[in-house]
Structure 1
Amino acid sequence: MRHTSVDRADVRDMLVVHEAFRQSYSRIPALVREVSPGDVRRAEVIADHAQLIEEFLHLHHKGEDELLWPKLLERAGDRLGTAVTLLESQHEEIAALLTESSLRLAAWRAQPSKASGEELANSLERLDALLTEHLAIEEKDVLPIVPEYVTAKEWHQLGDHAINGLPKSKLPIVFGMLASLADPDVVKLMLSTAPLVPRLIMPVLGPKAYARHARRVYGSA
């Protein structure tokens, strides 16, 4: 079941999402370790950021499990080999690490000590390592053939699933984060199925919201 070039999924937006996850998880462990013991206010800032990325990753993988893998296995199973099976298995491992890091994040947020911070940072580093491997496999073995078997409409449903699951107050931050990593035409792609008002205002609100967020989290925009 292949599609015309006009109707094909454009996977460039997912590459941007992947890069956002890679950059975020490569930096969060160090942010945790830099928090002074007992500094609850700073721990709250980092914990809120980590929780937002965690929620986004969970929704991203849930969307793939429900809306992407079944279609690919049905339509292109002979071309995928064991790639999707491996990716599904890694989703389960990542989910377990997310659960572990979430519990440690809650404990550290409430009482940021050197010991609890180190446990959390170690957990996040294991998550980062597995996620980096997972994203590389997906980009090498799966995404290149997606446009042949998934329509643009189906692809946008996948992206909308993650966005619609996030708290509305956090959408400008997430959009701004993605826009900071994307070419202008990919930003337009990400907004192409949004209602008119968000499509018009998000390019203005998103970068400003993310710049404020980044200053709080990283110390600079």
Structure 2
Amino acid sequence: MPHTSTDRADVRDMLVVHEAFRQSYARLPGLVMEVSPGDVERAVVVAEHAQLIEEFLHLHHKGEDELLWPKLLERAGDRLGDVVSLLESQHEEIAALLVETAQRLALWRAQPAKDSGERLADALERLGSLLTEHLGIEEKDVLPIVPEYVTAKEWHELGDHAINALPKSKLPTIFGMLASYADPDVVKLMLSTAPLVPRLIMPVLGPKAYARHARKVYGAAA
């Protein structure tokens, strides 16, 4: 049965995370193809950016697999039908593509060449296409009913799962990236369960860290 507490999950932060993934993977193939053959220094910049996004995506899906799907299947399985099974199978497909892109990324990073760059860009495009489809299904068929079955506390546990698993040195950049797609009230929502000091400094530190990162990765297009 749906829970009746007024303390329900606010899924707007998930929409921000989704948009960050969409935009990142839309731009990654082009970033790879723009690297001149033999330009190892630039390849390292692009590769480290790709690895950051891939790490965050892996942790995001791991959190859903462990903390969200089981709750929804138990509490709302009759409403979701086969949607969760489809999303779980897509997680497996995306995980396989993440392995492929990581392998191709390592080869290209060490010795950027036209052919290895094209193969990497193709793998990233396939990953981005499947991810876009996957996120669309979540937003259409799952997120609208989440507040009926998941409490705010449970929802924040899901978000904290990925953030807490990231290296602390990467947190400002990730937060700044997410904040760049979020309204101010959603930024507050994302920080609502953080300790006092991060809650106070991250709105200043995060955007600055991401601005530096974006200029380095995207240049004038940042």
TM-score (norm 1): 0.99
Q: CA deviation at 1:167?
A: 1.0
The answer for the alignment partner of 1:12 in structure 2 is: 12
Q: For residues 91-139 of structure 1, give each alpha carbon's deviation from its aligned partner in whole angstroms, at most 9, with x where no partner exists.
A: 0000000000000000000000001100100000000000000000000
1:8 aligns to what SS in structure 2? coil
| CA distance in structure 2 between the partners assigned to 1:5 and 1:11 by the alignment | 16
| CA distance in 2: counterparts of 1:4 and 1:180, whole angstroms | 33
How far apart are the structure 1 equivalents of 2:36 and 2:29?
A: 14
Q: 4+ residue runs of structure 1 moved beyond 3 angstroms?
A: none
Which residue in 2 is equivalent to 1:127?
Answer: 127
d(CA) in 1 for partners of 2:6, 2:182? 22
The residue aligned with 2:156 is: 156
Q: Whole-Å Cα distance in 1 between the matches of residues 144 and 50 of structure 2? A: 30
Residue type matched to 1:161 in 2?
Answer: H
Question: After the TM superposition, which residues 37-48 of structure 1 pair with which residues of structure 2 at under 5 Å, given as runs?
Answer: 37-48=37-48
1:6 partner SS? coil
Q: 2: distance between equivalents of 1:55 and 1:125?
A: 17
User: Is 1:89 equivalent to 2:89 in the alignment?
Assistant: yes
SS in 1 for 2:7: coil
Query: Residue by residue, what CA displacement relative to the aligned partner does 1:186-212 show, whole Å, maximum 9, x if unpaired?
Result: 000000000000000000000000000
Q: Note the aligned Cα RMSD (angstroms).
A: 0.8
Determine the C-alpha separation between the residues in 2 that align with 1:202 and 1:6: 28
Alpha-carbon separation, structure 2, partners of 1:11 and 1:83 = 18
Shift of 1:160: 0.2
Identity over the aligned pairs, expressed in percent? 85
Which residue of the partner structure matches residue 192 of structure 1?
Answer: 192
Find the counterpart in structure 2 of residue 99 from structure 1. 99
Output one character per residue of 1:141-192: Cα deviation in whole Å (capped at 9) or x when no partner. Answer: 0000000000000000000000011111010000000000000000000000
SS at match of 1:219: helix
Distance 2:3 2:78 in 1: 17
Give the counterpart letter for 1:197 in structure 2.
V
Matched, 1:51 2:38: no
**Partner Cα distance (1:186, 1:173) in 2:** 17
Q: For 1:139-218, what aligned pairs fall within 5 Å after superposition?
A: 139-218=139-218
**When the two structures are aligned, how many residues end up with a matched partner?**
221
Cα distance, 1:3 vs structure 2: 3.0
Q: C-alpha separation between the residues in 1 aligned to 2:178 and 2:127? A: 21
**Cα distance in 2, alignment partners of residues 153 and 107 from structure 1:** 42
Task: Report the residue type matching 1:179 in the other structure.
Answer: A
Distance of 1:6 and 1:82 partners within structure 2 = 28
Paired residue for 2:67?
67
Q: Which residue of structure 2 lines up, in the alignment, with residue 76 of structure 1?
A: 76
Deviation of 1:5 (Å):
5.7
